[in-house]
Chains A and B, each alone.
Chain A
Amino acid sequence: MSNLQAPILLVTIPLLAAFFAALGGMLHRKISFPIALIAIILSFHQSIIVLLKVVNDGVINYRIGGWMPPFGIEYVVDHLNAMVLVVITFVSLISIIYSKLIVERELPDKIPQFYTLYLLLTTGLLGITITGDAFNLYVLLEISALATYALLALGKDRALISTFNYLILGTIGASLYLLGVGHLYIATGSLNMADLFRILPSLSGNSAVMVGFILIIVGVWIKMAFFPAHGWLPNAYTYAPSSSICLIAPLMTKVSVYIMIRIMFSVFSAEFTFANIAWQTAVVWCSVIAIIGGSLQALAQRDFRKMLTFLVVAEVGYMVGGVWLANEIGISGAILHILNDALMTLCLFLVAGILIFKTQRHQLMDFRGMFRKMPVTMGAFIIGALSMIGVPPTCGFFSKWYLIQGAIEAGRWEFMAALIFSSLVNAVLFFRIIEIGHFQHETDSHDHAEEKISEAPAIMLIPLVVVAIALVVIGLYTNDIVTNVIQHAVPVL
């Protein structure tokens, strides 16, 4: 039995902290924030330890309760989820620091509850990523889902009704996943992923296994808002409070993509998943529609937040399509894009949050004159935008490059065309905003309310700058990330 406790600690520290944040919050509402912050810093530290250990020594297995799998529940950390764990804890750390002031303004009487839910959501996402048990994943999925519903419903305008729609669809998605796991269980008698991987090849052609696969994949697609089940996402994310959206928007869809990859390659095998060419073509076409449709919808929006949510839908298309290209380059691109897209989305939502914090508005037109008033914020915005468009040396370029190469190798020209089209649309979108921000000066300079706007406070700016720098640094070190981490995560085809 290995004595390395880091895999379990990185999940249980935020979990325990959630309880202490709730308890401490009853004494004084200011106690919750330091508890949450310390817990996430510790968890981030543990995730780094795990990543280094995996890169140096290979896969880590951790038996919860000391029981041998498949009888007990097992944690398995390999290259793929070690990377995702670091991404989750990093995003969580950045946005908890960033959102301190926003929470105090947006939800002044619900601060302890906010941090409790925030920590539960982080725990859920980490647990989903690290677990090696198919049923355990379902429970964690529901923890993160419940926390997300509560956090999203605290928003304004249509937040309630769009969260309710999300709840219905999210429950359908999770239930389909559970049903699919049941199909696998009835066919194999096991719930452990590694055990399923061992048994399933002997059951090829069994209709229960096929149905189980379809149910799980469709359930996860609903959760990640993949076309045609994407309808819930834009409204749910647009009206959410900007304190929590910086955690939810970058991570929920990426973690769902991770679940899809895990199910496709670690529960089922690549041969099983890609056995049917017609399905593969259909999925790639769906992602093409998701990319093109998402980009066009984004172009039609006048609201900055809503525009970003449609870009999230398009980015989901990138990753799903990349995985279903069924070649190693495409899958590497998709995995790399999980990392990059989480940070790009984070960067842009942070900018949106600052804009709302300062002006209370989030229309595109509100960017007028922002370069003069908030040079640092807008500088970070430009880096995020360039990365979204895919301009080197930002990291967005490299994952897109891999995806395009994968598309060429697989001969899926429609996917390549969609990627290039979406880059062009992104370029139009973001240059329009940059133009508004840079060249259009205010028509009415006597407006007192707008005159007062200046740069955001340091506690919000520093996280934003860190993310912007990370976008460039990851771009520069893409090669190392691919050779050390992602290459080991891609199944041999």
Chain B
Amino acid sequence: MKLIGLIVVIATGLLLLWGVTDFPDWADPQSPASTHLSPHFLTESIEETAVPNVVTSVLGDYRGFDTMLETTVVFAAGIAVYTLLRRSRRKDLREKPEMIEEELPHQALIVKTICRLMAPFMQLYALYVIAHGHHSPGGGFQGGVILGASFILLAIGFDLKMVLKRMREKTTLVLGILGVLIFSGIGMVCVLLEKNFLDYSALSAILPATDIIMARSHGILGVEIGVALAVMANLVLIYVNLSSDGKYERGL
């Protein structure tokens, strides 16, 4: 098995090496990838969407449908992990002996205090990253991950119950669904306003004091918020289920 594996790996590697021989040089400004589509995004982004961060405008608008689906991927993973691991019946819960509930000595005061201090600042920074994605590196995913990480940090520093007290299972599930619903809902609103799916320019009809270009900018902000909610909630959901084996007891 190992030998076959090695042969497959070497064959694949050689194939890929052969492919590289015809690649354009690394960082070549004249390569097709840099001359075919990207100049359009770079030069038109501000005119068409009023967003200086081109990554955000491509992510949220030009290829917004990809982004909606990747949010759905996170949602699918969250639901998949939840479906596989969550134990709801009492019979399942009794399978294994209960863990000892006593406080572990190494969970020192310093760790707890630092985690508790860090969490609000992380969350504040996450909100900044989400809201400022139009002008600086950042956006829904990055912000959502930081938000999720702040909860996971609390779960590691204290225990799972601490997090579950602040974010109940139902809240997490609802937020995860709400995030994807915001994104696809904005898309559907555009359809109802008789434009194509995710064509945010349609939103200028319902947003006050917005022209077509600014409507796109606001639309991107709206979907970024949805993305952030979905990513945060589903990461927490995945972590909580994985670390407690679906029993929601104390976690790691």
Contacts and interface: CB of A to CB of B under 8 A. Distances in A.
B70 A110 contact: no
A8 B32 contact: no
Interface string B1-29: 00000000000000110111111100000
Interface of chain B, helix or strand or loop or mixed?
helix
B46 interface: no
Interface stretch (B56-64, B114-122, B123-131): B56-64
Given A110-B83, A117-B83, A149-B80, A23 B19 contact: no
Contacts, number: 155
A65 B61 contact: yes
B33 A186 contact: yes
A15 interface: yes
A72 B63 contact: yes
Contact of A150 (B23, B83, B185, B194): B83
Nearest to A114: B83
- For B20, B36, B82, the residue with the greatest tally of chain A CB atoms inside 10 Å of its CB is B36
B62 A26 contact: no
Given A66-B201, A150-B83, A207 B21 contact: yes
Contacts of A23: 174, 177
Given A8-B191, A12-B187, A12-B188, A117 B19 contact: no
Contacts of A211: 15-16, 18-19
A189 B37 contact: yes
Interface size class of A (residues with CB under 8 A): 35 or more
Interface in A155-199: 183, 185-191
A75 to B, nearest CB: 9
A230 to B, nearest CB: 16
Interface residues of B, number: 58
A3 B199 CA distance: 13
Interface stretch (B71-79, B95-103, B135-143, B148-156): B71-79
B63 A73 contact: yes
A1 B191 CA distance: 13
Given A146-B80, A187-B22, A206-B22, A64 B65 contact: yes
Contacts of A8: 191, 196-197
B207 interface: no
Contact of A66 (B70, B89, B195): B195
Given A65-B198, A186-B33, A190-B37, A136 B66 contact: yes
A19 B16 contact: no
Contacts of B35: 189
Q: Which 5 A-B pairs have the closest CB atoms?
A: A189-B36, A211-B19, A150-B80, A66-B199, A189-B32
Given A120-B75, A150-B80, A208-B23, 10 more contacts: A23-B174, A64-B196, A117-B83, A136-B66, A139-B73, A150-B79, A150-B83, A189-B33, A189-B35, A206-B22
